[in-house]
Structure 1
Amino acid sequence: MINTSVANILERALMGYDLSPEEGVLLLKQTDSEAIAAIRHTADQLRYNQVGDTITYVINRNINFTNICEQHCSFCAFRRDADDVGAYWLDWGQILEKSQDAVKRGATEICMQGGLNPEAQINGKSLPYYLKLVATIKQEFPQIHLHAFSPQEIQFIARIDGLDYATVIAALRDAGVGSIPGTAAEVLDDEVRKVLCPEKINTETWLEIISTAHKLGLSTTSTMLSGHIETPEQQIGHLEKLRSLQQTAINEDYPARITEFILLPFVGQEAPKSLRRRVGRDQPVLADALLLGAVARIYLGNWIPNHQPSWVKLGLAGAKAALVWGCNDIGGTLMEEHITTMAGAVGGTCMEVDTLQTAIASLGRPYQQRDTLYQKV
């Protein structure tokens, strides 16, 4: 028998009401199979009400231009010091080659992020290097959408060059960046961040940079790294901050906003031993990811209607399952994925378009290619 308060929360959600944080936590703490089934059903129904039955995907390519990084996040198996074995830093020719390959394979988007490499400068300045990175791609392929540089990278550029965030974001926008990945969010709770990524920007800075991007006309995505040391209360606190950020963008009529929410379950296989011991497992727990994804749809869906699982982290079967737990987008082809794969993920580094289409069709749902901003292609 489903708990009355859970039934009431789900009923109100279906009527279009926003959940309170307390209601969100209550849903996340359910262990009864009937209650969990009702949460799944509600999330799936809201997905249908908010965005319909079509499952979207994007043809994109990742370019992680360097893995040299000054920071030491406890979950990251990607970063290297400059003199480490396996350290790399792509030159302009390699960037162009990868971009050309992406365009040849039908990509509409290049997603570009990298380590925080203190040597990545031109004439002693960081911003000119990043602007050249953008120009190298955009001069040759003006039609490609550049989804680039996390809030952490923007803060890094601003700090090195003594600039404010708005100046950096406006310069990147004017050079040809089309939108900003909402990565480096991990969990937007400073107690969690002290353990996971003590050198990274704090919650307030992440929110400020994303909001500044919206004001300056650059859409962003939003993410959560889940399933490590955070509590249900901290997970809902994260969703509350994202919802509030989006409400501000809409209520203040900013020219851009958050386009999607992506849940990134923690993969710890190659994480440092201390964090692995604390988490107690190497791969995500699918049931936990599905429940959190469903609650995220119920919590955010009125404000952030597009929800995407990570096939890299969950595998294609896990991502497919998430499409009946409230998600409406299966993500991108990626063509080359290093960061999660180096952490020990089993989902693979590249997905062919027909593989994504077949996975969607097997659910009896239609599919549609989209661009970065969720327009039909």
Structure 2
Amino acid sequence: MKQKTVDAILEYAWKGGDISPAEGVVLLTQTDPQAIASIRTTADKLRQIQAGDTVTYVVNRNINFTNICEQHCSFCAFRRDDGDSGAYWLDWAQILEKATDGVERGATEICMQGGLNPQAKINGQSLAYYLKLVTTIKQEFPQLHLHAFSPQEVQFIARIDELEYADVIAALRDAGVNSMPGTAAEILDDSVRKVLCPEKIDTDTWLEIISTAHKLGLHTTSTMLSGHIETPQQQMVHLEKLRSLQKIAIHQGYPAKITEFILLPFVGQEAPKPLRRRVGRDQPVLGDALLLGAVARIFLGNWIPNHQPSWVKLGLNCATEALAWGCNDIGGTLMEEHITTMAGAVGGTCMEVDTLQTAIASLGRPYQQRDTLYQQI
């Protein structure tokens, strides 16, 4: 079968069609500036149709409750073993102090994730510890949206306590978790995961846990860690799995689905040396991130309309540029960010609301605060 030209692929997308993964690879492998400009223009026009002109943001606070972790992902500069220099594990008072700080600064969301700490138990139960994390915050601030615990953390709890994923998710939901971060996805291709994060859950488990969350009424986000050892073909496999997951949630009438796609370009400055040497650079390549973001909009936008760059990984100027390549959301204030910063990112750890608003306004686009589920505030 004859391969479609870039123009034919973009025209099909512009008319509302879902392009194939193979067509996505064609777009991702373009080097001609004119072709790349056409991809950008199409992504930007589709963004306008699918999500509108207004750029949204959320006022949120990160709480990374521990960096003690049993796993050794090849890209992670955040994790520590217990007793290492720089290892930490927040107590309940510190958790509450950080949540209080977020509320005082206008946060509507707490995003909470941490390392996989085998000691994090109450009465020998892992789930009991995680439930206490939730209730510590929600009893004091029931109005906060708690966006917490990745599929990897759900699997960790289930494995330690010998529970079903659905039982863990339902217990967390009932305690006060409102949505789940779609992190730990990295690249949804097991040949990549064996190098990048060999101890992490495999692709099928990640997909199963996210789909189970949707069935049980917890919305999730979706992410991709890009720009390390993966190929354009593997990037498109990842995006196809996300699109299929969203189609299932919608067609099956699940009470929840994926709310957004976030591209997370690899930052290697402080990554463990073997992967850093293999990748060969410390900071993301902006052009690659922008093109991938544009193709993600073209490929996913009919099903996942909200797309967000990472100002932490790219810096605010480059993240603002991504708003012209298919993104409609600039992310959150975060207030405190450890995981990417410890990897050597230059974007910073906190962003003031007026700084985000100024960046958006520089493009001549309106801005609007939102909540975690993209309702206007």
TM-score by length of 2: 0.99
- State the secondary structure of the residue aligned to 2:327: coil
Residue 371 of structure 1, CA deviation: 0.2
Partners in 1 of 2:67 and 2:83 — Cα distance? Answer: 11
Aligned: 1:91 with 2:102: no
Partners in 1 of 2:13 and 2:337 — Cα distance? Answer: 36
- Partner residue of 1:137? 137
- State the secondary structure of the residue aligned to 1:212: helix
Residue 4 of structure 1, CA deviation: 6.9
Structure 1 residues 35-91: Cα deviation after superposition (integer angstroms, max 9, x where no partner):
000000000000000011000000000000000000000000000000101100000
- Partner residue of 2:239? 239
- Partner residue of 2:295? 295
Residue 7 of structure 1, CA deviation: 0.2
Residue correspondence of structure 1 range 70-109 to structure 2 within 5 A: 70-109=70-109
Partners in 2 of 1:318 and 1:253 — Cα distance? Answer: 37
Partners in 2 of 1:164 and 1:11 — Cα distance? Answer: 45
- State the secondary structure of the residue aligned to 1:264: strand
Aligned: 1:172 with 2:172: yes
Aligned: 1:202 with 2:209: no
Residue 322 of structure 1, CA deviation: 0.1
- Stretch of structure 1 that moved more, 300-309 or 269-278: 269-278
Partners in 1 of 2:202 and 2:22 — Cα distance? Answer: 24
Partners in 2 of 1:93 and 1:340 — Cα distance? Answer: 25
- Partner residue of 2:369? 369
Partners in 2 of 1:4 and 1:167 — Cα distance? Answer: 46
- State the secondary structure of the residue aligned to 1:140: coil
Residue correspondence of structure 1 range 140-159 to structure 2 within 5 A: 140-159=140-159
Letter in 2 for 1:246: Q
- Partner residue of 2:61? 61
Partners in 1 of 2:73 and 2:274 — Cα distance? Answer: 12
* Conserved? CA contact 2:267–2:340, under 8 Å: yes
Partners in 1 of 2:51 and 2:206 — Cα distance? Answer: 28
Letter in 1 for 2:196: L
Partners in 2 of 1:58 and 1:4 — Cα distance? Answer: 39
Partners in 2 of 1:310 and 1:94 — Cα distance? Answer: 27
- Partner residue of 1:217? 217
- State the secondary structure of the residue aligned to 2:315: helix
Residue 251 of structure 1, CA deviation: 0.2
Residue 10 of structure 1, CA deviation: 0.2
Partners in 2 of 1:340 and 1:98 — Cα distance? Answer: 19
- Partner residue of 1:320? 320
Partners in 2 of 1:70 and 1:277 — Cα distance? Answer: 24
Partners in 1 of 2:208 and 2:125 — Cα distance? Answer: 23
Letter in 2 for 1:122: I
- State the secondary structure of the residue aligned to 1:330: strand
Partners in 2 of 1:204 and 1:331 — Cα distance? Answer: 28
- Partner residue of 2:118? 118
Structure 1 residues 94-138: Cα deviation after superposition (integer angstroms, max 9, x where no partner):
000000000000000000000000000000010000000000000
- State the secondary structure of the residue aligned to 2:347: coil
Letter in 2 for 1:96: L
- State the secondary structure of the residue aligned to 1:294: helix
- State the secondary structure of the residue aligned to 1:177: coil
Partners in 1 of 2:184 and 2:376 — Cα distance? Answer: 28
* Conserved? CA contact 2:4–2:23, under 8 Å: no
- State the secondary structure of the residue aligned to 1:234: helix
The list of structure 1 runs, each at least 4 consecutive aligned residues, that deviate by more than 2 angstroms after superposition, is: none
Partners in 1 of 2:83 and 2:96 — Cα distance? Answer: 25
Show structure 1 runs of 5+ residues with no match: none
- Partner residue of 1:48? 48
TM-score by length of 1: 0.99
Partners in 1 of 2:270 and 2:85 — Cα distance? Answer: 16
Aligned: 1:282 with 2:282: yes
* Conserved? CA contact 2:154–2:165, under 8 Å: yes
* Conserved? CA contact 2:58–2:331, under 8 Å: yes
Identity, in percent, stands at: 82
Partners in 1 of 2:365 and 2:321 — Cα distance? Answer: 13
Residue 272 of structure 1, CA deviation: 1.1
Count of residues in Structure 1 that have an aligned counterpart in Structure 2: 375
Letter in 2 for 1:287: G
- State the secondary structure of the residue aligned to 2:85: coil
Residue 273 of structure 1, CA deviation: 1.1
Partners in 1 of 2:351 and 2:202 — Cα distance? Answer: 33
Structure 1 residues 304-338: Cα deviation after superposition (integer angstroms, max 9, x where no partner):
00000000000000100000000000000000000
Partners in 1 of 2:226 and 2:4 — Cα distance? Answer: 28
CA RMSD of aligned residues (A): 0.7
Partners in 1 of 2:357 and 2:18 — Cα distance? Answer: 33
Show structure 2 runs of 5+ residues with no match: none
